[in-house]
Amino acid sequence: MQKKNGSAILRDPAQTKSTAFSLQERADLNLRGLLPHAVTSLHGQTARVLENMRRKNNDIERYIFLTALQDRNETLFYRTLIDNIDETMPLIYTPTVGQACREFAHIFRRPRGFYITPDDRGQIRSMLDHWPKENVRVIVVTDGHRILGLGDLGANGMGISIGKLSLYIACAGIHPSQCMPVMLDVGTNNKDLREDPLYLGYPHDRLTGDAYLDLVDEFMVAARDKFPHVLIQFEDFLTPNAYGLLARYRDDCLCFNDDIQGTAAVALAGVMASTRATGKAFKNLKVMFLGAGSAATGIGDLMARAFEAEGFSKAQARERLWFVDVEGLVVAGRDDLAPHNLPYAHDHPAMGFMTALDTIKPDILIGATGAPGTFNQAVIAKIAEINDKPVVFALSNPTSRAECTAEEAYSWSDGRAIFSSGSPFKPMVLEDGSVRRPGQGNNAYVFPGIGLGAMAADITALPDALFLVAAKCLAALVSDADLAEGALYPHLTSIRTVSLAIASDVASAAYDLGLARAERPNDLTAYISKMMYDPQY
């Protein structure tokens, strides 16, 4: 890229070094007089960022501060994220991104991402030519219909696409210029949003039916025409659309749904790792889900494949998995089940959640409800009565929507619970002095590495087999020290190492399956490692 001259380079977030420009660079680029005297290192700039971020009064202010940094200096923003990922990831993504999406129109500062509305029918392909980057390799697209556990947030959902792509960059080293957030702004059924004078979205009821599908079809065709090697990640679509769109496109293009497949891989990895802590063989596990939406059944689908790999038939694999929704146990004979629930509707008497828990006696309890407090004291006490080391996943995001807190899981199980959550909880010291680190089953452990592997091998499709590979890889990276702390996932500080390992395993499997277009390098891991963006001046 040809560098701009003079003050323009200071305002270019992709090229600026701000106070880190050397004296010679200041002379060469006509920057003398435009900067303070001192030449600051990137490390020194990061220290200044952290000092200013930490003096903010609350997390949403810290989010706004970091977003402003991203707008003015990408290198410094991503360096700060990478070197302080355990502190910054909860700010740029869950749980803070939930509040950021609710308030998106009110905290809006500068346009970021690509917006498509029903008024753009027939013009999406030509509109994509307005995007300033040519080599886009990852798109995260949402329609804002089911943002985390917060519901229909319309165009405010763009915060999710932006946040996810920040994690692709920070956690897996995909270059910022190769990432594109997309908002399918098809309206909102949230009346409060439509009546908000500051709302920035398409102020109409949601598009539905064939008109909705036609718009998504046009976007998918246009995106693949403009960016032939792009990976498209569907994010936070309502369950029927999430399954419908995945089925519609997965066989013809490189795409996946993170709520279904990414969540599944992360949860499966945690379940696999838990067997080393409990001493129970994976093939003998019984798993109960509270919640039967796209996240829960996505986990079930991938877990069934894992049971099949243990030698079970498809029917036998599904018999290990039990689901409970608001109407009770998912069983055959119910006439209110969605298509994705039917494979798990067992021949069993109907019953409520607590009765099902006591009757089926699962080894693993997974919550994906979006309803806080559903794992109450009676639930945790019961799963602890059934198991010496009860394994509990409270996966709903953000933190305010978790089925229970880490403290509740530990205190109500006499400290025996092995607890994981979708959003972060702080480590706890139990009454006996032992430390428990709640494992965060964050999709960031999986989707960035999958994207990196797909890019490295130029993969043509992402079948479930590759998500199973990613889950096994992540489970193997959980150390004995992690398990001793009660955590089913590695420390976030190792996330780039995790992403590299997953990318290597996914790419290798893709080559073996005939899904890779790129020539296979002699040392795949070394090749991928060299691809990874490392923000430096």
Q: What is the pLDDT of residues 288-297, one digit of tens each?
A: 999 999 899 9
475-519 per-position pLDDT tens digit? 999 999 999 999 999 999 999 999 999 999 999 999 999 999 999
Q: Which amino acid is at 406?
A: A
329-370 per-position pLDDT tens digit? 999 989 999 999 999 999 999 999 999 999 999 999 999 998
The ranges assigned to domains in the chain are 7-70, 91-253, 261-442
Coil, helix or strand for 22? coil
- Do 409 and 392 touch, CB atoms closer than 8 A? yes
Confidence of residue 4 (pLDDT cuts 50, 70, 90): low
Distance CA 66, CA 132 (A): 23
Distance CA 14, CA 370 (A): 38
Q: Please provide the CATH number assigned to the domain covering 261-442.
A: 3.40.50.720
CB count in 10 Å sphere of residue 428: 19
For residue 114, what are its two tokens?
A: 């690509």
Q: Which amino acid is at 296?
A: A
Q: Is the pLDDT of residue 443 over 80?
A: yes
Nearest in space to 66 (alpha carbons), one of 86, 57, 76 = 76
CATH (one of 3.90.440.10, 3.40.630.30, 3.30.200.20, 1.20.1370.30) for 7-70: 1.20.1370.30
CB count in 10 Å sphere of residue 12: 14
- For residue 397, what pLDDT is reported? 85
CB count in 10 Å sphere of residue 269: 25
Identical fold between 7-70 and 261-442: no
- For residue 433, what pLDDT is reported? 87
Question: What topology is assigned to 91-253 in CATH?
Answer: Rossmann fold (3.40.50)
Which contacts (CB < 8 Å, 24+ apart) does range 118-122 have? 118/186, 118/187, 118/202, 118/204, 118/207, 118/211, 118/215, 119/202, 121/214, 121/215, 121/218, 122/218
Confidence of residue 2 (pLDDT cuts 50, 70, 90): low
CB count in 10 Å sphere of residue 173: 23
pLDDT, average across residues 59-66: 98
Using alpha carbons only, give the angle 451, 457, 458 rounded to the nearest 5 degrees.
Answer: 75
Residue with tokens 């877990």: 303
Distance CA 363, CA 386 (A): 8
Q: Is the pLDDT of residue 46 over 80?
A: yes
- For residue 49, what pLDDT is reported? 98
Q: Is the pLDDT of residue 141 over 80?
A: yes
- Find the helix or strand (DSSP H, E) in which 61 lies: helix 59-72
209-259 per-position pLDDT tens digit? 999 999 999 999 999 999 999 999 999 999 999 999 999 999 999 999 999
Residue positions annotated with a catalytic role? 93, 164
For residue 149, what are its two tokens?
A: 């556990």
Using alpha carbons only, give the angle 107, 110, 113 rounded to the nearest 5 degrees.
Answer: 105
Confidence of residue 3 (pLDDT cuts 50, 70, 90): low
Q: Is the pLDDT of residue 95 over 60?
A: yes
Confidence of residue 270 (pLDDT cuts 50, 70, 90): very high
**What is the longest distance spanned by two Cα atoms in the chain?**
80
- Report helix, strand and coil shares of the chain as percent, to nearest 5: 50, 10, 40
- For residue 405, what pLDDT is reported? 96
- The per-residue pLDDT of the chain, averaged, comes to 96
Confidence of residue 431 (pLDDT cuts 50, 70, 90): confident
Give me the helices (H) in 205-249, please. Answer: 209-226, 239-249
CB count in 10 Å sphere of residue 473: 22
Residue with tokens 């139990």: 430
283-331 per-position pLDDT tens digit? 999 999 999 998 999 999 999 999 999 999 999 999 999 999 999 999 9
Per DSSP bridges, beta strands 231-234 and 138-142 are parallel
Burial of 504 (0-12, 13-18, 19+ CB in 10 A): buried
Q: Is the pLDDT of residue 1 over 70?
A: no
Using a pLDDT cut of 90, give the percent of the chain over it.
94
Distance CA 187, CA 190 (A): 9
- For residue 212, what pLDDT is reported? 98
